[in-house]
Amino acid sequence: MQRRHMYVVVPVIVLATVLIVWFAAHTARRVELKRYSMTATVVQVQAADQMVEAHNEDIPGFMTPMNMDYLVKDQRLLSNLRPGDKIHATLVSDGQNTWELQDVTVTQHAGESAAPANPTSNSNAPAPTSSDKK
């Protein structure tokens, strides 16, 4: 009789364990990924690891300026990034484990001067002469 009892108890315990694990896995809190527009300066590129260390500017309501490692899956882009490059990107994050840059564009390459503050002014234009005044 005891042996028969074990044939019933063991499968019931196994089934109960499987159901508890399945239920826990399906009711766990789903992590929500959020998207943030950001600008940053590349500090270091680790192409083999698909990582870029960058110093991000302030992301209001989410992150203060800091150096941080970000995942960048676009291998072609990674091979063209250099320390000192200014970038604009979309940060996709759950605020805990996921820190990925998407839609990365280089806005200024390292060593290039920034665009003039007033792009409509033409420094190459000749200065007005007295004959130009009427």
- Per-residue pLDDT tens over the stretch 3-47: 676 777 777 787 878 777 777 666 655 678 999 999 999 999 999
* Domain-wise residue ranges, the chain: 34-108
Q: What angle do CA 100, 106, 109 make, to 5 degrees?
A: 130
Please give the Cα distance from 43 to 19 (Å, whole number).
48
CA R_g for the chain: 29
Q: Which fold has domain 34-108?
A: OB fold (Dihydrolipoamide Acetyltransferase, E2P) (2.40.50)
pLDDT at site 134: 45
- Is the pLDDT at 131 greater than 70? The verdict is no
